[in-house]
Amino acid sequence: MPITVEKVKEFLQRATEVLKENREYLTELDSAIGDADHGINMDRGFQAIMSRFPTFEGKDAGTILKTAGMALVSTVGGAGGPLYGTAFMQAGMALQGKYEFTLEDLVKALEAALKGIMNLGKSKPGEKTMIDAIAPAIEALKKALANGADPVKALEETTRAAEEGMKATIPMIAQKGRASYLGERSIGHQDPGATSSYLLFRTMLEIAQKQGS
């Protein structure tokens, strides 16, 4: 069953709620190794996406995601806004013109998003960032699809990998962003960006489960 543009909109709406619910949690994580604003940033950014919602009417998934990315870039400062903004814009470009798409297309969009983050952040896996949740999640999704998993099962495995990747940031030494200023003192803390990325994958799964597809 294809993923429709309606599901993309539902994802953005639900993600806005989830990030609002986790605003304090994300900010607390960022207060340990950053500047205590990640929850505030994500909440503000997704509220901005919601304010663009009326313009999504009749638009394809690519245009919607690009608009969402631009909303993030233009309303959220620091590292998180431009990185997530780029990710959504790249995903949007990969889905340009599509009103419905497959999980294979979703893999391509996620890969484009990850590449965008890595290029802008000059970062790679293992540096205690959002990449440590996103990269293993994409690998798990590809593996699940290659093994013929149904969509919900595939997204369950994706979400599990994102969660494991998020937890794997705890013992890492931060090498990018503000947390890197702490050096070894960043050990023992979960990365806020990896946590918000996990929450976004979990939201994707939730939407898929709800649709029963």
Contact 120, 82 (CB under 8 A): yes
Rounded alpha-carbon distances, angstroms, from residue 161 to 180, 195, 201, 206: 24, 12, 10, 15
Q: Smaller CB distance to ligand ADP: residue 69 or 193? A: 193
How many residues bind to ligand ADP according to rule CB under 6 A?
23
Q: Smaller CB distance to ligand ADP: residue 77 or 104? A: 77
Contact 55, 68 (CB under 8 A): no
Binds 79: which of ligand ADP, Mg ion, none (CB < 5-8 Å by kind): ligand ADP
CA distance 207 to 10: 7
Using the rule CB under 5 A, which residue among 8, 9, 29, 34 binds Mg ion? 34
How would you label 3-41 residue by residue, b for 16+ Cβ within 10 Å and e otherwise? bbbebbbbbbbbbbebbeebbeebbebbebbbeebbbbb
Interface with ligand ADP, residue 178, by CB under 6 A:
yes
**Least Cβ distance, residue 78 to Mg ion (angstroms):** 6
DSSP bridge partners of 3: 101
Residues counted in the chain: 213
Q: Smaller CB distance to Mg ion: residue 37 or 60? A: 37
Interface with Mg ion, residue 45, by CB under 5 A:
no
Could you tell me which stretch among 76-84, 108-116, 159-167, 182-190 binds ligand ADP (CB under 6 A)? 76-84
Contact 200, 15 (CB under 8 A): yes
Restricting to residues 187-206, which ones interact with ligand ADP according to CB under 6 A?
191-194
**Least Cβ distance, residue 82 to ligand ADP (angstroms):** 9
Using the rule CB under 5 A, which residue among 37, 43, 157, 163 binds Mg ion? 37
Q: Tell me whether residue 192 is exposed, middle or buried, using C-beta atoms within 10 angstroms of its C-beta: 0 to 12, 13 to 18, 19 or more.
A: buried
**Least Cβ distance, residue 137 to ligand ADP (angstroms):** 14
Residues that bind ligand ADP (CB under 6 A): 30, 34-35, 37-38, 41, 78-80, 83, 117, 121, 123, 129-131, 176-178, 191-194
